[in-house]
C-alpha cells in the first residue's frame, strides 16, 4: 500500500489573550491509501484543529505535511485549489454546513459548477449519479435541507464532499448528531464508498464505539498531543496509556473477557495555553510521579503500538 499522508511534528497554535494555545502540539503520523485513522479524545483536545490543519483550512504553526509524497506544508494558490479538490471534509452537523436557501440538487451541484467545464445537462446527470451513490432518492432533488431528517442531510453532505472525486476525507464527527439507528446506516454507507473509491479517512469522534468498526488504526489525543496509537483491535483490547484505559472504561463492551471497571478521572484538565513540558495528563493520572515532568515522546511498545507515557513498559 502507498502512503498517502504523512504528518511530521505538526503544530497549530492560536494566539489568545492568555497566551499561546497549543491546540495541536507536535503530532506525527502516517496513513496508507484506503485506510481509516480514527482520532478520539475529549472535547477541546484538538481533533478538529488537527483535521483542519491537515486540510489547509488552518495554516500550520510548525511541522510538515506530505500528501502523496509531496511536501505540501506551504503551497501556492494553484496547488491549494488542487488539494482542496482531492481532500474534503464532512462535518458533524450537515444542517449548519449546508446553505438552507439552496435545494439538495443545487447544494450538490455547487462545487462542480465552481470547477466549471460541464454543461447544465452534464451537471444534472452528475447530481443524479451522486444522489444514487449516497442513497438519496431523486425525489429529494428539489427539497431543502430543513425538509429532510438528519440522516438524509448527512447524505447530502457526503454527496457534496464526493462531487469532485476526492481521495482523502476528514470526517469530523459525521454521525455524532444522529440517532443510533441512523448512525449505523451512515457508517455503512461511508464504508461502502471507501471500498468503492479507495478513499482514505481521518475519522474524528469523541465516541470510541463509533470508530471501533470503522478504523484500521486509532489514535487517542489529549490536550493537543497523541498519547497512544495502535491498530484498532489492539487499542481496544490492549490499551496501555492510563488515559486510553479511562476512555475505554466509559463504554460498555459486551462479551469481552477482560474485566473493565469504570475509571473515573479526577483532577483538573491542564490548560492548553502555554503548557509546561512533561506529560499533560499527569494532573489527572493515578500513576503520576516526579518523572512525568520530563518531556515524553511516543514509544513503540509493540509492533505498530505507540504510547506516550514514561511508565508505558510497565503497563503493557
Ligand atoms: N480559531 C480558534 N481560535 C482560538 N482557539 C481555538 C480555535 N479553534 C480551536 N481553538 C482551541 O483549540 C483547542 C482544540 O479545539 P478543537 O476544536 O480542535 O477540539 P476538538 O477536539 O475538536 O473538540 P470537540 O470534541 O469539542 O469538537 C481548544 O482549546 C479550542 O478552544
Ligand atoms: Mg471538534
**Residue nearest (by alpha carbon) to ligand 1 atom 25:** 43
Q: What is the pTM of this model?
A: 0.94
Place of cell 483538573: 268
Closest ligand, as measured to the CA of 46: 1
What are the DSSP E strand ranges found in 82-181? 87-90, 168-172
Q: What is the pLDDT of residue 156?
A: 96
Residue 29 lies in a domain: no
> Could you tell me the three cell numbers for 196?
468503492
Q: What's the CA gap between 217 and 219, in Å, rounded?
A: 7
Question: Where is 240: in which H helix or E strand?
Answer: none
Task: Give the tens place of pLDDT for each residue, 41-100.
Answer: 999 999 999 999 999 999 999 999 999 999 999 999 999 999 999 999 999 876 678 899
Residue 106 lies in a domain: no
Complete DSSP assignment for 252-313? --TT-SS--PPPPP-SPPPPSBSPPSS-TTGGG-TT--GGGGS----EEEETTEEE--TTHH
Helices and strands, counts by H and E, the chain: 11, 12
Question: Which of 11, 13, 41, 46 for a ligand 1 pocket mutation test, highest count of atoms within 8 Å of Cβ?
Answer: 46
Question: Which of 10, 12, 14 for a ligand 1 pocket mutation test, highest count of atoms within 8 Å of Cβ?
Answer: 14
Q: What is the pLDDT of residue 266?
A: 80
Distance in Å from the first CA to the final CA of the chain: 29
- Exposure class string for 197-211: b at 16+ Cβ within 10 A, else e: eebbbbbbbbebebb
Residue 262 lies in a domain: yes
- Residue 151 in contact with residue 186, Cβ under 8 Å? yes
Q: What is the pLDDT of residue 269?
A: 79
Query: Treating both helix axes as pointing N-terminal to C-terminal, what angle do 150-162 and 120-133 enclose, rounded to 10 degrees?
Result: 130
Question: How many Å lie between the centroid of ligand 2 and the Cα of residue 175?
Answer: 13
Closest ligand, as measured to the CA of 171: 2
Question: Which of 13, 16, 19, 21 for a ligand 1 pocket mutation test, highest count of atoms within 8 Å of Cβ?
Answer: 21
Domain with 281, as residue range(s), is: 239-316
Report which ligand 1 atom has the smallest distance to the Cα of 272.
29
What's the mean per-residue pLDDT of the chain? 93
Report which ligand 1 atom has the smallest distance to the Cα of 52.
18
The residues of the chain scoring below 70 in pLDDT are: 94-95, 252-260
Question: How many Å lie between the centroid of ligand 1 and the Cα of residue 15?
Answer: 12
Ligand 1 residue neighbourhood (C-beta within 6 Å):
14, 16, 21, 23, 41, 43-49, 206, 272
Residue 271 lies in a domain: yes
Question: How many Å lie between the centroid of ligand 2 and the Cα of residue 43?
Answer: 7
Domain count, the chain: 1
**Residue nearest (by alpha carbon) to ligand 1 atom 7:** 14
Residue 250 lies in a domain: yes
Residue 225 lies in a domain: no
Residue 1 lies in a domain: no
Q: What is the pLDDT of residue 93?
A: 76
Report which ligand 1 atom has the smallest distance to the Cα of 173.
27
Counted residue by residue, the chain has a size of 316
Q: What is the pLDDT of residue 275?
A: 92
Residue 203 lies in a domain: no
Query: Treating both helix axes as pointing N-terminal to C-terminal, what angle do 104-115 and 120-133 enclose, rounded to 10 degrees?
Result: 120
Q: What is the pLDDT of residue 256?
A: 52
Closest ligand, as measured to the CA of 91: 2
Q: How many CA atoms lie within 13 A of 288 on its CB side?
A: 16
**Residue nearest (by alpha carbon) to ligand 1 atom 12:** 23
Amino acid at each position: 500500500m502507498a502512503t498517502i499522508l504523512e504528518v511530521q511534528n505538526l503544530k497549530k497554535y492560536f494566539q489568545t489573550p492568555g497566551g499561546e494555545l497549543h491546540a495541536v502540539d507536535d503530532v506525527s503520523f502516517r496513513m496508507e491509501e484506503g485506510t481509516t485513522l480514527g482520532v478520539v479524545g475529549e472535547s477541546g483536545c484538538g481533533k478538529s484543529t488537527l483535521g483542519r490543519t491537515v486540510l489547509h483550512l488552518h495554516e500550520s504553526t510548525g511541522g510538515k505535511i506530505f500528501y502523496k509524497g509531496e511536501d505540501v506544508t506551504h503551497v501556492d494558490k494553484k496547488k491549494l485549489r488542487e488539494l482542496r479538490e482531492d481532500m474534503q471534509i464532512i462535518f458533524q452537523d450537515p444542517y449548519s454546513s449546508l446553505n438552507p436557501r439552496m435545494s439538495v440538487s443545487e447544494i450538490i451541484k455547487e462545487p462542480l459548477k465552481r470547477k466549471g467545464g460541464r454543461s447544465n445537462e452534464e451537471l444534472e446527470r452528475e447530481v443524479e449519479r451522486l444522489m444514487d451513490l449516497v442513497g438519496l432518492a431523486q425525489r429529494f432533488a428539489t427539497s431543502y435541507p430543513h425538509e429532510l431528517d438528519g440522516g438524509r442531510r448527512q447524505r447530502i453532505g457526503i454527496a457534496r464532499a464526493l462531487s469532485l472525486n476526492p481521495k482523502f476525507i476528514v470526517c469530523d464527527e459525521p454521525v455524532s448528531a444522529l440517532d443510533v439507528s441512523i448512525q449505523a446506516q451512515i457508517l455503512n454507507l461511508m464504508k461502502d464508498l471507501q471500498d468503492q473509491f479507495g478513499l482514505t479517512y481521518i475519522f474524528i469522534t469523541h465516541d470510541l464505539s463509533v470508530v471501533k468498526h470503522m478504523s484500521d488504526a486509532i489514535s487517542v489525543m489529549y490536550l493537543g498531543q497523541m498519547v497512544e496509537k495502535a491498530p484498532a483491535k489492539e487499542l481496544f483490547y490492549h490499551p496501555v496509556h492510563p488515559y486510553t484505559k479511562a476512555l475505554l472504561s466509559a463504554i460498555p463492551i459486551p462479551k469481552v473477557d477482560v474485566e473493565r471497571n469504570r475509571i473515573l478521572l479526577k483532577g483538573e484538565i491542564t490548560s492548553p495555553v502555554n503548557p509546561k513540558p512533561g506529560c499533560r495528563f499527569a494532573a489527572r493520572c493515578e500513576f503520576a510521579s516526579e518523572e512525568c515532568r520530563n518531556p515524553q515522546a511516543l514509544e513503540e511498545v509493540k509492533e505498530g503500538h505507540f504510547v506516550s507515557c514514561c511508565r508505558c513498559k510497565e503497563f503493557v
